[in-house]
């Protein structure tokens, strides 16, 4: 963490929470954190709960994000949701290229690049996710994989888009497995990503917030966030429970 980059904690609820369950979770979270949370917080519920959660978050500083969007602005794409639709629910952020989208729904680097541009065109802040599989790490390909993902999705963006961009380094082997990357492993990749962003975009590239994601809990968050280039966390499983998620947000606020 670096004082010039305010910490962000984002919660990816994935395909969890009906609307009544989403309402309870958000009410509990607001009760835990108050109207002015200890760090920037972004909640990413499923599409179905966005409007309802948005109404509850009105008057708080907690931000809303979607988990996905379609690359096209509108048209005959049954079942899909555009950036403008997402934005019209009150979202300010959207996850792009989560490894579950890449792995289970066939999203290529090119598709992630198109979605990143679509998010920006709709006035959203994309949280672009990247990370290597276990096999890639074991073959010492981590740097090559994340560099390729970054190059395709991000390095071709116009410089004026960069202040709205966030990255999430999420090693695939750490997501939902209970196996968190060590703080040193996270720092190494975050530093590499920041260096590439800096080479391409200069100071605004170096200021992009890079979150770590992968089995982050209230117990592991503090050590991860103590690393110079870890600017926050993207939290899956541990974001489904208000007390634990609030502890992660407090750890991020304290690491500032």
Catalytic residue flag (residue 98) = yes
Find out whether 130 and 97 touch, Cβ atoms under 8 Å.
Answer: yes
Nearest C-alpha neighbor of 201 from the set 134, 151, 240: 151
Cβ-Cβ contacts under 8 Å for 218 (sequence gap 6 or more): 238, 244, 247, 248, 251
Cβ distance to ligand PEP smaller for residue 13 or 201: 13
**Span 222-241, contacts to ligand PEP by CB under 6 A:** 234-238
CB of 244 to ligand PEP, least distance (A): 11
Strand 93-96 and strand 63-66: the pairing is: parallel
Cβ distance to ligand PEP smaller for residue 37 or 213: 213
User: Of 70, 136, 170, 190, which is the active-site residue?
Assistant: 170
Identify the three-state secondary structure at position 66.
strand
CB of 233 to ligand PEP, least distance (A): 8
CB of 103 to ligand PEP, least distance (A): 11
Interface with ligand PEP includes 175 (CB under 6 A)? Answer: yes
User: Of 98, 132, 136, 190, which is the active-site residue?
Assistant: 98
Find out whether 194 and 111 touch, Cβ atoms under 8 Å.
Answer: no
Find out whether 187 and 210 touch, Cβ atoms under 8 Å.
Answer: no
**Span 190-229, contacts to ligand PEP by CB under 6 A:** 213-216
**Span 1-20, contacts to ligand PEP by CB under 6 A:** 12
Interface with ligand PEP includes 45 (CB under 6 A)? Answer: no
Question: Binding residue for ligand PEP (CB under 6 A) from 40, 132, 170, 231?
Answer: 170
CB of 35 to ligand PEP, least distance (A): 26
Catalytic residue flag (residue 170) = yes
Residue of closest CB approach to ligand PEP: 236
Tokens of 204: 């605004």
Contact window for ligand PEP (CB under 6 A) among 20-28, 170-178, 219-227, 244-252: 170-178
Cβ distance to ligand PEP smaller for residue 66 or 205: 66
Other CB atoms closer than 10 Å to residue 159's CB: what's the count?
Answer: 11
Nearest C-alpha neighbor of 95 from the set 193, 207, 256, 213: 213
- Give dist(CA 177, CA 56) in Å, integer: 31
Identify the three-state secondary structure at position 209.
strand
Residue with tokens 């888009």: 161
**Span 53-82, contacts to ligand PEP by CB under 6 A:** none
- Residues labelled as active-site residues: 98, 170
Q: Which chain residues interact with ligand PEP by CB under 6 A?
A: 12, 170, 175-176, 213-216, 234-238
């Amino acid at each position: 963490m670096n004082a010039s980059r305010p910490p962000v904690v984002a919660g990816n609820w994935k395909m969890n929470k009906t609307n009544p369950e989403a309402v309870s979770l958000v009410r509990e979270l607001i009760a835990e954190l108050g109207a002015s949370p200890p760090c920037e917080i972004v909640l990413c519920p499923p599409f179905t709960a966005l409007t309802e959660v948005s109404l509850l978050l009105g008057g708080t500083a907690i931000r809303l994000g979607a988990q996905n969007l379609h690359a096209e602005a509108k048209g005959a794409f049954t079942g899909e949701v555009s950036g403008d639709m997402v934005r019209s629910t009150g979202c300010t952020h959207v996850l792009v290229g989560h490894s579950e989208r890449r792995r289970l729904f066939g999203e290529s680097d090119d598709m992630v690049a198109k979605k990143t541009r679509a998010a920006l065109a709709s006035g959203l802040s994309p949280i672009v996710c990247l990370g290597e599989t276990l096999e890639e790490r074991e073959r010492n390909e981590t740097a090559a994989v994340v560099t390729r993902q970054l190059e395709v999705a991000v390095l071709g963006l116009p410089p004026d888009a960069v202040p709205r961009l966030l990255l999430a380094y999420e090693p695939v082997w750490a997501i939902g497995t209970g196996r968190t990357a060590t703080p040193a492993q996270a720092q190494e990749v975050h530093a590499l990503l920041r260096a590439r962003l800096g080479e391409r975009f200069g100071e605004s590239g170096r200021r992009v917030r890079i979150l770590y994601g992968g089995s982050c809990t209230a117990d592991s968050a503090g050590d991860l966030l103590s690393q110079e280039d870890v600017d926050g966390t993207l939290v899956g499983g541990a974001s489904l429970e208000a007390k634990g998620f609030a502890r992660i947000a407090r750890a991020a606020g304290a690491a500032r």
